[in-house]
Chains A and B, each alone.
Chain A
């Protein structure tokens, strides 16, 4: 059935996929957030909990991106990915809380591991 739909939609199929399989399942959470949070007090305990859940979710996304990476990042060994992340955070603090310095350092370590791996 999907194949027939793909046939019928012609060149529009990729856009349909982006909208129906990508956009709608993502946007539903933003809309739900507005509807649920419209009347919540910013200093309420529920809000503190919600912020903790959001932080844990973003940290979880980071872990997933590093544990099961896609594309060229998969070539870098796990220790290299985690080491680069740790280096970035360490430099962030050493450079007096500079996100730019931390990001740059992390990227450099990752590129270093990558180049070293390709020479071996």
Chain B
């Protein structure tokens, strides 16, 4: 028997968790991303690019540090191929982040196409909030919740990028510095909040401590690759040693 209300019921099954995701994003996560992306708008203006190039970079890159690197390197006059390589190396983190959040996004009716769409929104905020909130939701609600959350924070951040294009030059220096400090502070607190085991803490501490060393050894471009592989593997070793005991 075909149920007359079926399509609507299916719609409700998507929009109910979607709206829950929107509500979850509407507070602190959106504010943090707005603060982070205001500075990117200012950088876009500094190099003489139109406002929509900055806005587009938030929609497409969705990676604050990579956007800062892109516009900062353009300002410094680096060659385009070199910038592309540096941007790509700075974004390697998305590979393990996407791989580790996929099991939480998979569900009935979520094929590769939808996963690719969802993966575009993966960045530190969606990754940490997703890993924190998704496990407690029913499997079929996870994907729509994640999309509702992600689209909301991206909309807020995109607006902030455009606003920053005009605002940043008018801000006092201390305030501008505080805005640029938002990303490292929030990334750190997100990692601290998500750390439960000794191995988690080791990955956090090693990643932080190894970075200056890696920069000195292999240079600005490949340092993060070394930090991720060496720090992550050492932390995994700690995980294995504690598991065996």
Contacts and interface: CB of A to CB of B under 8 A. Distances in A.
A, B in one complex: yes
Interface of A: 2, 11, 14-15, 17-34, 36-38, 40-42, 47-73, 75-76, 81, 84-85, 88-89, 92, 97, 99-100, 102-103, 106-107, 110-111, 114-115, 118
Contact of A60 (B63, B95, B228): B228
Q: Among A15, A68, A115, which residue has the most Cβ atoms of chain B within 10 A?
A: A15
B203 A59 contact: yes
B61 A99 contact: no
B96 A54 contact: yes
Question: In which size bucket is the chain B interface?
Answer: 35 or more
Q: Among A23, A55, A99, A115, which residue has the most Cβ atoms of chain B within 10 A?
A: A55
B184 A62 contact: yes
Given A26-B66, A38-B115, A70-B68, A33 B181 contact: no
Given A38-B115, A73-B180, A52 B189 contact: no
A48 B120 contact: no
Contact of A70 (B72, B189, B191): B72
Given A55-B235, A57-B92, 16 more contacts: A29-B88, A29-B94, A31-B116, A32-B98, A34-B112, A47-B100, A50-B100, A56-B235, A57-B228, A59-B187, A61-B187, A61-B224, A72-B173, A72-B177, A75-B177, A99-B193
Contacts of A60: 207-208, 210-211, 214, 223-224, 227-228, 231
A32 B184 CA distance: 26
B151 interface: no
A76 B91 CA distance: 26
Contacts, number: 303
B28 interface: yes
A59 B210 CA distance: 9
Interface stretch (B2-10, B14-22, B51-59, B142-150): B51-59
A62 to B, nearest CB: 5
**Would you call the interface of chain A mostly helix, strand, loop, or mixed?**
helix
A75 B95 contact: no
A26 B189 contact: no
A76 B180 CA distance: 11
A57 B61 CA distance: 18
Contact of A62 (B97, B116, B176, B188): B188
